[in-house]
Chain A
């Protein structure tokens, strides 16, 4: 079965620390991959997406992710986090462009001021 795994349940960082959140997907072939963010009490917002081409994808708010096909990974990174980045982050993927979107279980990020 297709699955998306996120390695960390809860990450706690101080402001200005660097962030890397892990994400692995289980299926081969063409994949579409996404990172969403959910601020407390709010709905999902798209941070970035990968469909094809350059494996280094830049998103909003200074986030980026790298698609590494050989490792089935799509890790999210940010060089310097801010208190306002406190949120829950979801990795999601689908097989090809038409499959259903499958989500990881999410990683809560807490940034201490």
Chain B
């Protein structure tokens, strides 16, 4: 049971560099999302997707791009990293449907931008 897998677990970037945080799930969930966690701020939604080919912005989308070409994968791209993007990033997925369902979270990626 892999669940939601995020890579890498840790990353250090220099200001201005770009990178992609990977997220994959093997539960055939339609809904996937990215959050960032900062001290005292809880988790804030960056982007989300309700299915392949469909993405939308969350609360804090600036500086991040996403795409959803397959059901399984939902990568998060930082085009030009800034120190303000130093954070822990969590990917989550859940089923969609009429009933309530819980979200499953990945292990997180700790990103430091210097």
Contact = CB atoms under 8 A, between A and B. Distances in A.
A100 B100 contact: no
Contacts of A6: 42
Interface residues of B, number: 24
Interface string A75-113: 000000000000000101000011011111110000000
Contact of A34 (B40, B44, B102): B102
A6 B98 CA distance: 28
B53 interface: no
B43 A49 contact: no
B45 to A, nearest CB: 6
Contact of A90 (B40, B42, B106, B107): B42
B48 A100 contact: yes
Nearest to B108: A43
Contacts of B107: 42-43
Contacts of B90: 43-44
A38 B47 CA distance: 22
A100 B44 contact: no
Interface in B6-43: 33, 35, 40-43
Given A44-B90, A101-B45, A105-B42, 12 more contacts: A9-B40, A32-B100, A34-B103, A43-B107, A44-B43, A49-B100, A51-B99, A51-B100, A90-B42, A90-B43, A101-B92, A103-B35
Which 10 residue pairs are nearest across A and B when measured between Cβ atoms? A51-B100, A105-B42, A103-B42, A103-B43, A97-B100, A32-B100, A44-B105, A43-B107, A106-B42, A43-B108
Interface of B: 33, 35, 40-45, 48, 58, 90, 92, 96-103, 105-108
Interface of A: 6, 9, 32, 34, 42-44, 46, 49, 51-52, 90, 92, 97-98, 100-106
10 contacts: A6-B42, A42-B107, A43-B106, A43-B108, A90-B42, A97-B99, A97-B101, A104-B42, A105-B40, A105-B42
